[in-house]
Structure 1
Amino acid sequence: TGFMLIRSLLANRRQHLFHLSRTNAVMAEFGKFYEQQYAVALFNSVRYEIEGGGNTQTQLLHRKDPLKNKSIFSGGLFQYLEESKKWRSRFLYVGDFYNISLYESKAVRVINCAGYRALTSMEEYLGLLNNSLSDTKAKAASAPFLKCPMQFPLILWHPYARHHYFCVMTEKEQKKWHAVFQDCVRHSNNGLSEECKVATPAFTDALRLYRQAKGHYGTWDLMCGNQAQILANLVMETLHPELKNLIVPRLKGKLQQRQRDWMLISDAVYRQVLSQTKTQHEALAQVCEVERPRLDSALRTDMDQIITSKEHVSGKIRALVLPRVEQLVRSKVQPYIHSILEALMEPTSRGFSEVRDILFRELVEVSKNTTNDRSSEKLGEHMDKISMLAFHPVKMQSCYEKMEALNLEGLQQRCDVSSPSVFIQRAQILMRQQMDNAVHTFEQLVHQSLDGHSGEDFCKIIQRCQDRVLKKYDYDSSTVRKKFFREALLQIIIPYMLKQLSPSCSPDLPKFKELIFEDFSRFILVENIFEEVVLQSVSKDIMMAVKEAAVQRRHNLYRDSMVLTNSDPNLHLLGEDTIDWAGQFGGVKGDRQGGEVANRKRKQIVSMIHLDGMPLPYESCQEVPGVDGIPEESEGQTEQDLETEKPVNPIQHVPIEKEPGSPDSLNEIRDLINPVLEVVEKDGSQLTNGMLLLEEEILIFFPPIHLLCLPKCVINML
C-alpha cells in the first residue's frame, strides 16, 4: 500500500509541476543574485591581480596531489536492502575522491557523502527519524522498522536524500568504518574550490544574499557538496516542509511504515530537484562565462575610475551608517567577542596539539626503526607508510575528536548559529592539511639530505629533519589557527549585525545608486558596500582580541610581531609531488607506458580488518590492483541483450562457451564464496537514484562471504 501511494504521488503530473515550478522560482531568483555577484567578484579578482596582495609566508611545503595512486579503504560489510528488506554482504571501496563505492553484482554505485551524517547507534538514528515526522513522534519503546543482525550498525543519514544502512561484526570494524565514513562526509562538506577566483565567491555571496533576503542570516549546515547539491538543498529548505504538510497526513499504516514511505518520497523528490538544479546552474554559469571577456575588458580599461567611484560611494554610506554600527558594536558585540573566541580556541588548540603529538610519535617511530635496520629498503618502507599519515582517518581520529567538544551554546539563538558543525569540520580539514604539509616537508628534507650518505647517517638525518619540521609546524599551525579564529568570529558576528542593522539601514541604500555611473553599476553594488562597511567596523575589535590571545600564550599562539623568515630558502624550490619511496628505495617500479612510469596498483591507506577465525585468501588486500584496458560496459543494452550475451572471463576477457551451472565440487563452491568481479568505473554519470558512477576501471576482489549467509548444506560440505 505504501509503495502504491508513493507511485501515485510521484506519477501525479500536478506534483511534478509543483516541484518544477518551485525549483524554477528559486533558481530564477538566485540567478539574479548570481549575475550581479559574478561581476563584483570579477572586479575584485582583477583588482587584486593588478594591485597585488601578499599572503603570509608559510614555513611548510604543500603538495598538489597527495592521494595520487592511493585509495583510502576497502572491505566487506553487510548492507540493508530496502527493496527486499534483507541484509546482504557487500564490498565497499573508498577511493581518492572520498566517494563510497558500493559493488552489487556487476553494478557499481557511488554514494556522494555531502550533507550526510555518519551514525553508529539506532537510538541516535531513530531520534532524527522521529523528528522528520513531528506530528507522529514514536514512543520511546517503539521498535525501528529494521533490525540489525549484529549490534554494530553504521548508518548514513541525510535530511532529504536516501539513507544507507550497514552493519559489521565487531566493535573494531565499526570504529574503523565510522572513522572512514566521517572522513568522507568531512571531505565532501569542505566547500567549493578556492581555485575558482570568480565563480566560487560569486556563488557563495549570491547564496548568502538570497537567504538573507528570505530572513535567514548566519551559518547554514547544508552548504555542502557541489553547486548543484547546495542549490538542491536550498530548494528543499522550503519545499520539504510544504510536502510534509501535504503528503504525511495521507500516509497510512503503522508509524514505521509511514516513516519508510516518507523517506522514499523525500528521496525521489530530492533527486528530481537535484537534476533540475544541476541543469539550470550549468546554463547560468555558461551565460556568465560567455559574458566574462567583455566585462574583463571594461574593467581593465576603467579600473582607476571604478575604484574612485566606489570609494566615493563608500564614504557616503559610511557617514550614514557608521554611528549606528558603532553603537551596536559597543553594546552588543564587544562584550561577547572574548567569550566566543575562548570557546573556539580551547578545542581547536587541543586538536592541533594532538596533531603535533601524533606527528612526533610517528617520526620517532621512523627513527627507531631506522636505527634497528639501516638498509635503504627499510627506510623507503617506513617513509612510504608515514607519507599518508594525514589521510589515515583512524590515526587522525583522536585529533578530530578534540574539535568535537566545541560548544557554542547560547550563540545559536543570539547570533543565528545553526550548529557548530560548520566550524568543527573546517577546523578538522585544517588539521589534516597541516599534518600533510608537515609530513610532506619532512619527506622533502629527508630526501634532500640522503644524497651521498650511508645507512649509518640515516638516524641523524631523520632526527635533524624532525626538529626542523616541528618548528615549522608550530609557526604554521599558529598562523592557521589565528586566521581560522578571525574568519569564525566574522561568520558569527557579521550576520548578527546585518540582521540588526538591515531594517533601519536598507531603506536608505537605494538613493546611493544615483552616485554611480551607469557603466560602472555592474561592478559597484551598494548592498555589498554596506556589508563591507559593517565588516570593517568590527574587524579591528576581532584583530585585537586575537592579538591579545596570542600575547597570553595560553594556546601556543605566536605573536604577530614574531615574523619568522624562511629558514630554508632552497626548500621551496623542491618538488610538490609525492616522493615514490617504495619505488626509489624499495625496488618496486611501475610499468613504463609512453615513457612515463604508471603505477598499476592503488595502495590503500587504511589496512584491511582481519577477523579472528575468518580466513582471507587474498592477503594482499593492502593494495587494490588496477587493470588497464577493460572495455566499458554497454550503457544502451537492454535486459534481453544482456541475458543473451555470452559470459566473459573477467581476467582473460575470453567468452565462456558453456553456460554456468550448479557447482559440482568443493572448489567450485569456494569459488562462488570468494568471487572475482570485474567492474567498470565512469565519471560524471548521474544515476537516477542520485548516486554517481566511478572514475576509473579497477579489478576488485570480493572478501569472503560470512558463513551465516550460506545454506546449511553448503556449510556442512565445507
Structure 2
Amino acid sequence: MVLGLKSSERVMGEFGHVYKEQYAVALFNSVRFEIEGGGGPQSQLLHRKNPLEDHSIFSGGLFQYLEGNKKWRNRFVFVADTYDVSFYENKVAHERGLHPKGTINCAGYKALTSMEEYLDLVSTSLPGVKAKVGSGPFVKGATQFPLILWHPYARHHYFCVLTEKEQTKWHAVLQDCVRHSNNGLSEECRVQTPAFTDAVRLHRQAQGHYGTWDMMCGGPPQILANLVMETLYPELRNLIGPRLKGKIKQRQRNWMLISEAVYKQVLSQTQAQYEALVQACEVETPRLDAALRTDMDQIITSKEHVSGKIRALVLPRAEQLLRRSVQPYVSSILEALMEPTSRGFSEVRDVFFRELVEVSKNTLNGGGKDKLGEHMEKISMLAFHPVKMQSCYEKVEQLSLEGLQQRFDVSSPSVFVQRAQILMREQMDNAVYTFEQLLHQSLEEKDQRGENLCKTIQCCQDRVLKKYDYDSSTVRKKFFREALLQIIIPYMLKQLAPSCHPDLPPFQELIFEDFSRFILVENMFEEVVLQSVTKDIMMAVKEAAVQKRHNLYRDSMILTNSDPDLHLLGESPSVDWAAQFGGGDEESDESPEGCGRSKWRRRQVVSMIKLDGMGPLPYESCLEVPGVDFIPEEGEMEEGVDFIPEEEEEEEEEGATPMEPEPNSPDNVQEIRYLINPVVEMVVPASEEDLAVLTNGTEPGMLTLEGEEEEVTLITTVVEEVHRKSLQWKSAIENAIQEIEMAVQEEDEDRITECAVDSDAELAPPLADSSPRHHDDSGFQSLTNEALDEGEAQPMKDVLKTEDSLTDPGEVERFHM
C-alpha cells in the first residue's frame, strides 16, 4: 500500500506539471479556432442529440460468483443507457428503486466466454506461476456457458447462463459496454480533453513509451490510475511475486486480491488529485483567456517565427527518415486498415437495408400505420442493439497489423478496432434517425396506406442510403488518416528524439516571457514532424479513393449544403412511433405503479431471452439458485469445501444487510503479509495446565497440508479453555442416552415421550477425550412417527444424525432434568 501511494504521488506530480503546461496550450488553440473558424465537410445524414433517452440496453438474470462466500447466486442485471452494469438481488429490488448490490464500469475490461482464455490471461499476470496442463480453474462455473469480465488490475467478475443463446446475447451486450466505456473522452470539452490526452502522451513518451496504449480508456481518474499501475505493476510483481506461498491457484488468487487492493487505493488517489488539478487550472482560465484575446495576433506571429526556425532544423531529418523507413510501409498499413473497416461499414448498410425491407413487407401484409409504428419503434434503436450489430462488429475484428505492430510499436489493433466500431454505430444511428424524420414528414403530409405506404418507405430508404454512402466514405477516410498518424508519428518521434531534443532548448529563449505559457517548443517540434508526414498520408488516402475499391469518393465530389430542407428536420425531436401510431412495444419494461422509481427507462433496446417450450425464466430470486448437486462449489473435489445447507443459506440471506460483503481483498499491509506468508492456526481444546506442553517445540518449517508440503513461516497455537462443567455435560449425555436406550428396549412410548422433551434439542459436540461410545454427531433427533407405528425398536446411536452446530450447555442440562 505504501509503495502504491508513493508511486501515485510521484506520477501525479510529474503529470500535473505537464498538464498545466498543456492546458494553456489547449486554451490557446481553442480560442484561435473560435476566432479564425474552420471545419470539415458537412454531414449529409442527421445526428440525434440524445439517442438513448428513455431507453435501457438490456436486463435479465445471470448467475454471479460471489467471492466473499465462494457461492453462486442468481442476480438481476440491468444495463442502463450509461452502459454501466448493475446487479440486484432480484428484479423486484430493481423495480422498487433499491440500490444495486454492485455496479461495474467496463472501461479496460475484456469480455470472455472461455475459461481457458481467462486462465491464459491470469497466468500471464505472474510470470513463472502457471497452472499445470489439464488442471481445473480455481472458480468452477455453475454451467458450461461462462461470461467473465477480466481486467489487468481491477477485480474480475464471473457470470454464467443456462444456454448458448443467452451466452451469445449477453456476450454481445458486455462487449458493447466495454466498447462504449473505452471510447475515450468527450470531444465537446475543447480544452480539458486535448490537454489531458497530450499530457498523458507526453508523460508516457518521457518514460520511453511512444506507441499506442490499450489502457487509454475510461474517465480521466481511471486513465491516470492505469498510468500509475503501468509503472507500479512490474515493481509490485517483482517484489511480492516471489514471496507468495501455497498452491499455484492460491498464489494466483492472492496476487489478484493484492493487485485489486492496490488499484483501488491508486484510483482513489488519482480521483482526488485530478479534481484538485482541474480546479486549479479552471481558476486561472479567465485570466489566461483575457490575455489570449488581447494578444492573439502577437502570439500567433511569435509562434510562426519560432516554428520556422525549428522547421529548418527538423524537417530535413524528418524527410530522410520518412523516405527511408515510413513511405515503403504506408500502403501496406492503409490496406490492412481499409479492407476489414470497409467490410464493416458495408455490413452496416446491408443490415439497415434488410431491416427496412422487413418493415415494408410487414406493413404491406399487416395493415398500415398501426403495424408501421410497432416496427419503427424497434428500428429506431437498431444502432444500439448489440446482437443485431454484432455481424458488423465482427467484420472489423478481423483487422490485423501483423508484421507492422513490432516495427511501429503498436501494442495491439484493439485501439483501432473499437474506434471503427464506434464510428459504425454512429453512422447506423444517423441513417436510422434520418430515415425516421423523412418518413414521419411524408406521413404527416399525406394519408398513405398499402402500396403507397410501401412506395414512400422505399423512396425514403433510397434517399438515406445515398447519403449514407457519402457520409461513410468521409468518416472512413478521416479514420484512415487518424489511424496512420497514430501509427507513424510516435515512431518518427522516437527515432528523431535522440538527435533533435538536445537542440531544442535554445529556441525557448526566442519566445517572449508573456507568451511562453501558450507556445511550447516541444509542441512545435511535434507539429513540424506531423506536417512532414501529413502530405504523404493525404496522398495515400486520395489514391485509394480514386481506385474505388472500397467505395470511397474523392473530395471533389463533396457537395456542401446539398439538402438544406433535410437539415431543418434535424432540429425536430425524435419520433415516438408507439405513441403516435399506436404501435405496441414488446420490449418495453415499464415500471409498475407505486414503485417509487423516479426515473424509469421505459423501453429496452434488446429483448429478453425466451427459451423454447418454457415460461418465465426460473431462478427469479437469488434464493432459488439450483441445488448444490447442480452447482459444484469451488474446490469441492480438491480442497474439500462443504456446501452451505439451504436452510442456512436462506437465514443468511434474510439477515443480510442490503449490500453484499466485499470480497476479501487486503486493505492494509498486514493483510497482504498474511496472503504472502501462510499462517496456520492450531485450535486445541485444553486446560490452562496443558498450555506449556501444547506450545512446546512448535517451530516454523514444512507442514503437510492436503497431501502436499507447504512452507510455513508462522504457526499460531490457539488454546481453548475447557469449561469446568465439561465432566458434568459428559455425565448428563451418557445418562440421557442410557435412559433412552432402556426406553426403546422396553417399547414404552410414555417413557420415550417423557425423555424426549424436545425432539429438536441439540447436544454439545463430543469432547476430545470422550469415550468411544460417543458418535461424531452433534445433535439429537427423536424417532419418526412411522417407526413408532410399526413398533420397531431403533437404537439411538443410529438415529443421531444432525448438522455440525454447537449447542448451549444449558440446554443439555435442562434436557437431562
Q: Which of the five TM-score ranges fits, normalised by the shorter chain?
A: 0.7 to 0.9
Distance, in Å, in 2 between the alignment partners of 1:277 and 1:577 is 39
Aligned residue runs from structure 1 range 333-412, under 5 A: 333-412=326-405
CA contact (8 A) 2:148 2:157 kept: yes
Q: 1:17, CA displacement in angstroms? A: 2.7
Aligned to 2:212, which of 219, 238, 250? 219
1:582 aligns with 2:567: no
1:265 aligns with 2:249: no
1:576 and 1:227, CA in 2 relative to 1: closer, same or farther beyond 3 A?
A: farther
| 1:606 corresponds to | 606
| 2:325 corresponds to | 332
Distance, in Å, in 2 between the alignment partners of 1:512 and 1:117 is 45
Q: 1:611, CA displacement in angstroms? A: 2.3
User: What SS does the aligned partner of 1:557 have?
Assistant: coil
| 1:28 corresponds to | 13
1:514 aligns with 2:499: no
Q: 1:689, CA displacement in angstroms? A: 9.1
Mean Cα deviation higher: 37-46 or 132-141:
132-141
| 1:637 corresponds to | none
Distance, in Å, in 2 between the alignment partners of 1:599 and 1:157 is 31
CA contact (8 A) 1:66 1:577 kept: no
1:504 aligns with 2:499: yes
CA contact (8 A) 2:377 2:583 kept: no
Distance, in Å, in 2 between the alignment partners of 1:87 and 1:371 is 49
Distance, in Å, in 2 between the alignment partners of 1:687 and 1:137 is 23
Mean Cα deviation higher: 102-111 or 329-338:
102-111
CA contact (8 A) 1:252 1:258 kept: yes
TM-score (norm 2): 0.72
User: What SS does the aligned partner of 2:557 have?
Assistant: coil
Aligned residue runs from structure 1 range 672-683, under 5 A: none
Aligned partner letter, 1:610: K
1:288 aligns with 2:281: yes
Identity among equivalent pairs (%): 75
Q: 1:134, CA displacement in angstroms? A: 0.7
Aligned partner letter, 2:602: R
| 2:69 corresponds to | 84
Aligned partner letter, 1:120: T
Mean Cα deviation higher: 34-43 or 368-377:
368-377
1:478 aligns with 2:466: no
Aligned to 2:133, which of 121, 137, 140? 140
Distance, in Å, in 1 between the alignment partners of 2:53 and 2:359 is 23
CA contact (8 A) 2:41 2:558 kept: no
1:507 and 1:432, CA in 2 relative to 1: closer, same or farther beyond 3 A?
A: same
Distance, in Å, in 2 between the alignment partners of 1:199 and 1:294 is 16
Aligned partner letter, 1:290: V
Mean Cα deviation higher: 578-587 or 150-159:
578-587
Distance, in Å, in 2 between the alignment partners of 1:688 and 1:140 is 28
Distance, in Å, in 1 between the alignment partners of 2:316 and 2:664 is 55
| 1:542 corresponds to | 537
Distance, in Å, in 2 between the alignment partners of 1:617 and 1:211 is 49
Q: 1:352, CA displacement in angstroms? A: 0.3
Aligned residue runs from structure 1 range 126-205, under 5 A: 126-205=119-198
State the aligned residue count.
615
Q: 1:155, CA displacement in angstroms? A: 0.4
TM-score (norm 1): 0.82
Q: 1:84, CA displacement in angstroms? A: 1.6
Distance, in Å, in 2 between the alignment partners of 1:569 and 1:98 is 35
Aligned partner letter, 2:20: E
| 2:744 corresponds to | none
Q: 1:88, CA displacement in angstroms? A: 1.3
1:51 and 1:238, CA in 2 relative to 1: closer, same or farther beyond 3 A?
A: same
| 2:226 corresponds to | 233
| 1:50 corresponds to | 35
1:235 and 1:513, CA in 2 relative to 1: closer, same or farther beyond 3 A?
A: same
1:413 aligns with 2:406: yes
User: What SS does the aligned partner of 2:555 have?
Assistant: coil
Distance, in Å, in 1 between the alignment partners of 2:469 and 2:600 is 38
CA contact (8 A) 1:117 1:158 kept: yes
Unmatched tracts of structure 1, length 5 or more: 1-15, 592-597, 619-661, 664-668, 681-685, 691-718
| 1:552 corresponds to | 547
Q: 1:413, CA displacement in angstroms? A: 1.2
Mean Cα deviation higher: 446-455 or 484-493:
446-455
Aligned partner letter, 1:44: N
Q: 1:54, CA displacement in angstroms? A: 2.3
CA displacement 1:573-628 (0-9 Å, x = unmatched): 1135321111111178999xxxxxx996521111111224542189xxxxxxxxxx
| 1:629 corresponds to | none
| 1:256 corresponds to | 249
CA contact (8 A) 1:65 1:577 kept: no
Distance, in Å, in 1 between the alignment partners of 2:18 and 2:235 is 25
Distance, in Å, in 2 between the alignment partners of 1:274 and 1:148 is 30
Aligned partner letter, 1:487: E
User: What SS does the aligned partner of 2:139 have?
Assistant: coil
The structure with the larger Rg is 2
Distance, in Å, in 1 between the alignment partners of 2:281 and 2:287 is 10
Distance, in Å, in 1 between the alignment partners of 2:238 and 2:115 is 26
Aligned to 1:463, which of 458, 468, 474? 458
Aligned residue runs from structure 1 range 308-323, under 5 A: 308-323=301-316
Aligned partner letter, 1:130: S
Aligned partner letter, 1:247: I
CA contact (8 A) 1:271 1:688 kept: no
Superposition RMSD in Å: 2.7
Q: 1:52, CA displacement in angstroms? A: 0.3
Mean Cα deviation higher: 91-100 or 486-495:
91-100
User: What SS does the aligned partner of 2:128 have?
Assistant: helix
| 1:530 corresponds to | 525
1:141 and 1:37, CA in 2 relative to 1: closer, same or farther beyond 3 A?
A: same
Mean Cα deviation higher: 474-483 or 144-153:
144-153
User: What SS does the aligned partner of 2:160 have?
Assistant: strand
CA contact (8 A) 2:64 2:73 kept: yes
